[in-house]
Chains A and B, each alone.
Chain A
Amino acid sequence: MMIFSNMSEEPIDKNIPAPPIGMLQQLGQLELPKAESNIHCITIVGQIEGHIILPPQNKTTKYEHIIPQLVAIEQNPKIEGLLIILNTIGGDVEAGLALAEIIASMTKPTVSLVLGGGHSIGVPIAVASNYSFIAETATMTIHPIRLTGLVVSVPQTFEYLDKMQDRVIKFVVEHSKIEEETFRRLMFNTGQLARDIGTVLVGADAVRYGLIDEVGGLGAAVKKLEELIRARKKNVQ
């Protein structure tokens, strides 16, 4: 049986020297010493995919990928902080809320950064961290939940939808500085979106309403995370 080494195109051969010398011979350089990062990063991009696999033209972030990663980060003593980078258009309510709840319940410092966009279900995920940042040009769309598929036109349908919406609103209000009344007002705002009702918040607007903590980029986010890590270490001692 031929065994292939994981990384190269070539089968493992005893005549080929071990990687560091091989690399020195072939490329004239040594492999760089492996550094370890105490900060891990999760990028949540495109649609958040939950119970149903979305068609292939969607870029998706799958919750079955993210959840075990979050568990591993919480458990691994070498990882001291988590940076969550968001550029999401929304997605499955259950999957999004599940991710938001896990992030909120982590004991390790978490910082989120909204780049590009953090729309719909991206909002609870953005506010779930200990501290949140939004890029100056990034946007967040707050709008009501819609029902898909067969809708039975009975009052119960509306009540169910209202209940689902309350889950999102409750989470956002609990984990950010925005007032429930303000958030509801933004959600049901008319005249801002062409095809829907709701509000688009750009960078500083999200901070002004208390949804996000600060306007900033990667540098500010990493600095804040390191600050939180230091503070946590002090508390432990």
Chain B
Amino acid sequence: MILYTALPLELVLEGMDRKYEFKEIEIDNVKLLVEPLDVDKGRIISIFSTDPLVYLNPKLYPGNIIKFVPR
């Protein structure tokens, strides 16, 4: 892997051993990154969608707590 970045590498690679605590889920065909609060509940961190109107959906605002079917 070659990293081509303007950021010092020690900043990028710091904490390489730490665990990634967020989870990706899909609701209504929208991929979301959530911070799990329970097996079926999570706080929305970010939305992965190219449709700008999805971001206007009040139910999907980052910070909202959302229920999902655990996989």
Contacts and interface: CB of A to CB of B under 8 A. Distances in A.
Contacts of A8: 67
A77 interface: no
A165 to B, nearest CB: 9
Contact of B5 (A37, A51, A119): A119
Contacts of A148: 1-3, 9, 13
- The CB with the most chain A CB atoms within 10 A, among B5, B14, B68, is that of B5
A57 B53 contact: no
Interface residues of B, number: 34
Contacts of B28: 6-7
B68 to A, nearest CB: 7
A41 B50 contact: yes
A47 B6 contact: no
A53 B1 CA distance: 11
B12 A54 contact: yes
Contacts of A4: 40, 67-69
Contacts of B50: 40-42, 69, 72-73, 82
Contacts of A57: 14-15, 18
A57 B69 CA distance: 28
Contacts of B2: 92-94, 145-148, 164
Contact of B3 (A72, A146, A195, A196): A146
Contacts of A56: 15, 18-22
Interface residues of A, number: 49
Interface class of chain B by DSSP: loop
A6 B18 contact: no
A127 to B, nearest CB: 15
Nearest to B2: A93
B16 A93 contact: no
A155 to B, nearest CB: 18
Contacts of B14: 55, 57
Contacts of B8: 195
B28 to A, nearest CB: 6
B5 A89 contact: yes
B67 A89 contact: no
By Cβ-Cβ distance, the 10 closest A-B pairs, closest first, are A90-B5, A119-B6, A40-B50, A55-B15, A141-B6, A121-B4, A93-B2, A120-B4, A7-B59, A93-B4
9 contacts: A7-B66, A47-B7, A56-B15, A58-B12, A89-B5, A96-B4, A117-B6, A141-B6, A195-B8
Given A57-B15, A119-B5, 10 more contacts: A9-B65, A50-B1, A56-B18, A69-B50, A72-B50, A90-B6, A91-B5, A93-B3, A148-B2, A148-B3
